[in-house]
């Protein structure tokens, strides 16, 4: 593409000047591989942006979208409905844990988080507790880029130019390199101690003012941080004791990433609300969904008078093409056994873990962490250039035919759940070579 063609697009989360000076263009994808404009095949070890869990180019999804486009391309969702959204909702309710039987549709993870925060406020107002307005997030948490999400999120770069406009506080993150470096699976130490920080925040603000705690079961963009053993259960216990809602942001963890449909099932902790997106449609159409407990719905909807109960929604909520993509995606997950393919104790996850931890001892490697088919390798910061190492490794790997996700001084892997051992072998080989090239 020439300079003029590149000029108009203001790209998200991208150094635009650097990209347009040396663009990396994707023109096709199939299975585990991207095709570049130079016709190179590049191994996808990120499932796009944590979303293409069933791999790329699955004909069942493409055919479902095409059929739907020919039948009903759009339907307004304010005061009207179409059958597919109700069929999809029932299916998701059956997959969800506990009593999370009510589904509200969005177009992204960011919108799912905004919706969940509003649901929490509406729930407390309906219960006569309108003073519960504060949200507790977590350092290094990522909850999208809308104003609510950057307020409860814990990544400074996402809010430092824009402010944090809803009342909030934050738990500390759970990483502890001194105690838990090179953990295989869940870190062993510090779970309850980290969770007990919530008691201190409750004492600071008072439970009567706190609406909800929102956390990712496994932090994604903040560095791929699996929760220490006991952490999530303790958080749930504290929330229950103080009448605080618990929101799990499963935009990354949902739909097979942790070896179950949802991470809440993997870790046996049921929240009040789950946010989803990404893997819901395998990335083939923009869509998110918020799964709310019956108690949330009953308080807000059943307890209200006539008329609109929740003044919230989007033009493209439950878009027919997205619903078709989601239904087809769920078919694939079920028919191909992808929900459980990456189970933490399964053969594939153990093989992935073994390959990753073979990199221990390479130059600059200070931590390797993994759970199921989700992993990160962390590096010692370069002198005078903190946060630059991941980008160097990502670029080196790209040049050798593999896509990684750089996260400051770390790289992340979240491959499609269709990955085979041969792909793992290739990925570990390329990553080792990239580390040696850049850090030796």
The answer to whether residue 384 scores a pLDDT higher than 90 is no
Contact 377, 366 (CB under 8 A): no
**Residue-wise pLDDT tens digits, 45-60:** 999 999 999 999 999 9
- 162-192 residue pLDDT tens: 999 999 999 999 999 999 999 999 999 999 9
Q: What is the pLDDT of residues 25-38, one digit of tens each?
A: 999 999 999 999 99
What is the distance between the alpha carbons of residues 265 and 254, in angstroms, rounded to a whole number? 10
Domains of the chain: 3-53+340-439 (3.90.1150.10), 63-335 (3.40.640.10)
Strand order in the sheet with 410-413: 365-371, 374-379, 410-413, 405-406
CA distance 214 to 299: 20
Residue 292 has pLDDT above 90, yes or no: yes
pLDDT band at residue 424, thresholds of 50, 70 and 90? very high
pLDDT at 250 over 90: yes
Alpha helices (H) along 127-225 = 147-152, 156-159, 177-180, 191-195, 197-205
The sign of the torsion formed by the CA atoms of 334, 336, 340, 342 equals negative
Q: Is the dihedral of CA 90, 93, 94, 100 positive or negative?
A: negative
Nearest-angstrom CA–CA distance, 64 and 312: 29
């Amino acid at each position: 593409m020439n300079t003029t063609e590149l000029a108009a697009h203001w790209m998200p989360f991208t150094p635009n000047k650097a990209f347009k000076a040396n663009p990396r263009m994707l023109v096709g994808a199939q299975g585990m591989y991207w095709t570049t404009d130079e016709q190179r095949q590049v191994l996808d070890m990120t499932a796009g942006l944590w979303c293409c869990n069933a791999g790329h180019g699955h004909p069942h999804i493409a055919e479902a979208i095409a059929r739907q486009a020919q039948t009903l391309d759009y339907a307004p969702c304010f005061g009207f409905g179409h059958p597919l959204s109700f069929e999809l909702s029932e299916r998701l309710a059956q997959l969800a844990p506990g009593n999370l039987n009510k589904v509200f549709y969005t177009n992204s993870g960011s919108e799912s988080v905004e919706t969940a925060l509003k649901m929490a406020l509406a729930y407390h107002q309906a219960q006569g507790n309108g003073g519960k307005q504060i949200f507790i997030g977590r350092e290094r948490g990522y909850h999208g880029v809308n104003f609510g999400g950057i307020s409860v999120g814990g990544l400074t770069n996402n809010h430092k130019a824009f402010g944090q406009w809803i009342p909030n506080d934050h738990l500390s993150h759970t990483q502890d390199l001194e105690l838990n470096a090179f953990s295989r699976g869940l870190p062993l130490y510090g779970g309850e101690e980290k969770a007990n920080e919530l008691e201190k925040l409750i004492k600071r603000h008072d439970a009567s003012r706190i609406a909800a705690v929102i956390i990712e079961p496994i932090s994604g963009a903040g560095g791929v941080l699996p929760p220490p053993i006991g952490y999530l259960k303790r958080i749930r216990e504290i929330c229950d004791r103080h009448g605080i809602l618990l929101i799990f942001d499963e935009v990354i963890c949902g739909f097979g990433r942790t070896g179950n449909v949802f991470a809440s099932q993997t870790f046996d902790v049921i929240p009040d609300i789950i946010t989803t997106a990404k893997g819901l449609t395998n990335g083939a159409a923009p869509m998110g969904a918020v799964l709310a407990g019956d108690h949330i719905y009953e308080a807000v909807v059943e307890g209200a008078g006539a008329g609109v109960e929740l003044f919230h929604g989007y033009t493209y909520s439950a878009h027919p093409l997205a619903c078709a993509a989601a239904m087809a995606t769920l078919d694939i997950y079920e028919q191909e056994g992808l929900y459980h393919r990456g189970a933490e104790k399964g053969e594939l996850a153990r093989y992935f873990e073994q390959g990753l931890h073979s990199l221990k001892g390479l130059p600059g490697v200070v931590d390797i962490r993994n759970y199921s088919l989700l992993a990160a390798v962390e590096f010692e910061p370069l002198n005078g250039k903190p946060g630059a190492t991941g980008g160097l490794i990502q670029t080196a790997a790209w040049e050798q035919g593999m896509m990684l996700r750089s996260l400051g001084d770390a790289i992340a892997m979240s491959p499609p759940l269709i990955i085979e051992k041969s792909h793992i072998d290739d990925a570990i080989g390329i990553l080792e070579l990239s580390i040696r090239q850049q850090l030796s």
